[in-house]
Amino acid sequence: MSVASEPILPAIIVGSGLAGLTVSDILINQYNLKNVTIVDKNPKVGGNSIKASSGISAADTKQQHDLKIEDDSADIFYNDILKSTGQSPNVDQLLINKLSVDSKHAVGYLTEIHGLKLDKISKLGGHSARRTHKSSNGIPPGYEMISTLEKSILKKIEEDDNNDKNVNFKMNTKLINFTVHKDTSIKEVTFMDISSGKTFKLKTNNLVLATGGFSANKNLIGKIMMMIVSFLRN
Ligand SMILES: Cc1cc2nc3c(=O)[nH]c(=O)nc-3n(C[C@H](O)[C@H](O)[C@H](O)COP(=O)(O)OP(=O)(O)OC[C@H]3O[C@@H](n4cnc5c(N)ncnc54)[C@H](O)[C@@H]3O)c2cc1C
């Protein structure tokens, strides 16, 4: 299929878990970007994120300070993550630094912009401080975060008086491939409509891959879980 006459989309976000919906929400509601396309191979948004039941881990948050949890910091969080990698040679220290330093902003975004409480904080295995946040209202944290972000994005679609499809959800659509031109940043992205099996291409200058560590792949999760179960049995 030729893509010569296709419009160049301002942004395509692949993955509608916490990462994908957060990027989409920021682009749509904070930067007012038009024509953002959110793609997911699953029929519903949420990925693995919607299953999260313990909460979101972050250091040096307002919620921790409110609860007088003063024995945590981004540095301590960083060291906990590094320790949990078992000194693997593949460790990306920049990524760990980003995660630990920015974690309080992630919680801040959900609480200050979206009104989540995230006021119940636990100390989980591998963490040396109480830093895993969920809301005290009893709503499972993954569901609360995903449904809040989804609503925020859908509200923008409803508010769109001109109905010019500011945001386009393409569910049941799998990313197959993408190419980055040497002479330009334009990416041609190939997708498959899972219902029909047909492939199609879109063009964009900004492709965000938010497909998650396990790509919400039940087989892979099952395989890892079986390894853990078998490890525990042994
Ligand atoms: C049962 C369970 C409980 C968990 N509990 C917690 C917890 O309490 N706290 C915590 O911090 N972490 C928890 N985790 C881990 C956490 O869910 C993940 O780290 C987090 O969801 C990753 O978010 P994400 O947005 O990067 O990926 P995901 O939420 O997995 O989203 C990725 C999305 O990308 C889509 N996708 C993948 N490949 C393609 C493709 N080729 N084309 C189109 N779409 C694609 C998937 O369908 C999926 O919707 C848990 C995980 C599981 C499985």
Interatomic CA distance for residues 54 and 123, integer angstroms: 10
Instruction: Choose which residue among 23, 49, 228 to substitute to test ligand 1 binding: the one with the highest number of ligand atoms within 8 A of its C-beta.
Output: 49
Instruction: Choose which residue among 211, 217, 219, 220 to substitute to test ligand 1 binding: the one with the highest number of ligand atoms within 8 A of its C-beta.
Output: 211
Residue 4 Cα, ligand 1 centroid: separation in angstroms? 34
Given this model, what pLDDT does residue 158 score? 82
Q: Is residue 82 exposed (0-12), middle (13-18) or buried (19+ Cβ within 10 Å)?
A: middle
Q: By three-state DSSP, how is residue 12 classified?
A: strand
Residue 88 Cα, ligand 1 centroid: separation in angstroms? 23
Pocket of ligand 1 (CB under 6 A): 14-20, 39-42, 47-49, 51-57, 174-175, 210-212, 215-216, 221
Residue 167 Cα, ligand 1 centroid: separation in angstroms? 22
Given this model, what pLDDT does residue 79 score? 96
Given this model, what pLDDT does residue 89 score? 79
Global pTM value: 0.90
Domain 1-51+142-234 annotated CATH 3.40.190.170: no
Nearest CA to ligand 1 atom 41: 175
User: 29 is written with which tokens?
Assistant: 């509601």
Residue 49 Cα, ligand 1 centroid: separation in angstroms? 4
Hey, how many other C-beta atoms are within 10 angstroms of the C-beta on 196?
A: 9
Q: Please give the chain's pLDDT, 234 residues, in tens.
A: 444 567 888 899 999 999 999 999 999 999 988 889 999 999 999 999 999 999 999 999 999 999 999 999 999 999 999 999 887 778 889 999 999 999 999 999 999 999 999 999 999 999 999 999 999 999 999 999 999 999 999 998 888 766 566 688 999 999 999 988 777 677 899 999 999 999 999 999 899 999 987 656 677 767 766 655 554 443
Domain boundaries, the chain: 1-51+142-234, 54-139
Nearest CA to ligand 1 atom 44: 40
